[in-house]
């Protein structure tokens, strides 16, 4: 590789690590704001939208207070984006947490974002890594992406390019081709032997998580 291009790739990667929380892809932004009935990150996690849209906030609250995880997640979405209620990050984080402890990967990812940015909770890179990891282990692609860059940047966790490569490679293996460019950037920080090791880690993770 031409030295000028090589330097540019590294500069671009380093800049990307610093700015990865921005999530500039429109598709990602749309996914984050999508109610849970339109998502499938938990195969046994389904809910139907209340027929009365005007009464949706009270209906979601009733179900959420009864302990329904899907309603808790959706109530979190409403508070985060001010949909039918006054925008309130503290309330959003509270309801995301309730859904998260019930194992809802999309809620775990959202709670990770809240900690990552200090929205409604004290900013904590360690807690962000914790919740990204929980969601990533369930196969949530954006959690895998953000967890990879926490490892790459050494934010909230010891810097580990092997594990960063593994998480992005898992996302790519499951069809998230948009992440290939990030995977290639991380590979610049690894030796060929380390890439082989990271690919083996990917295969082992996939084998252990097949249903």
Report whether pLDDT(167) > 90.
Answer: yes
Sign, CA torsion 149/155/160/161: positive
Mean pLDDT calculated for residue range 111-124: 98
Provide the angle, in degrees to the nearest 10, between the axes of the packed helices 141-153 and 125-137. Answer: 140
Identify whether the C-beta of residue 143 lies closer than 8 Å to the C-beta of residue 109.
Answer: yes
Q: Which domains does the chain have, with CATH numbers?
A: 1-23+141-211 (no CATH), 33-123 (1.25.40.10)
By percentage, how much of the chain surpasses pLDDT 70?
73
Quote the pLDDT of residue 211: 64
CA distance 75 to 129: 23
Tokens of 82: 């001010």
Report whether pLDDT(133) > 60.
Answer: yes
Sign, CA torsion 19/184/143/163: negative
Report whether pLDDT(118) > 80.
Answer: yes
Report whether pLDDT(38) > 60.
Answer: no
Quote the pLDDT of residue 55: 61
Q: What is the mean pLDDT of the chain?
A: 80
């Amino acid at each position: 590789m031409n030295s000028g291009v090589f330097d540019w790739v590294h500069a671009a990667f380093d800049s990307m690590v610093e700015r990865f929380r921005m999530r500039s892809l429109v598709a990602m932004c749309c996914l984050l704001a999508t109610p849970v009935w339109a998502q499938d990150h938990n195969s046994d996690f389904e809910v139907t939208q209340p027929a009365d849209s005007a009464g949706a906030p009270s209906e979601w609250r009733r179900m959420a207070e009864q302990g329904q995880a899907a309603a808790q997640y959706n109530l979190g979405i409403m508070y985060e984006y001010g949909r039918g209620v006054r925008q309130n990050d503290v309330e959003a984080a509270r309801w995301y947490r309730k859904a998260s402890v019930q194992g809802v990967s999309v809620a775990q990812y959202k709670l990770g974002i809240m900690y990552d940015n200090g929205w409604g909770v004290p900013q904590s890179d360690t807690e962000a890594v914790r919740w990204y990891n929980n969601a990533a282990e369930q196969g949530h692609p954006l959690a895998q992406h953000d967890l990879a860059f926490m490892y790459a940047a050494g934010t909230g966790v010891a810097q580990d390019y092997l594990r960063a490569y593994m998480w992005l490679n898992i996302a790519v293996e499951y069809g998230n081709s948009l992440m290939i460019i990030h995977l290639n950037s991380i590979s610049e920080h690894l030796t060929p032997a380390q890439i082989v090791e990271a690919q083996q880690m990917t295969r082992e993770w996939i084998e252990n998580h097949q249903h």
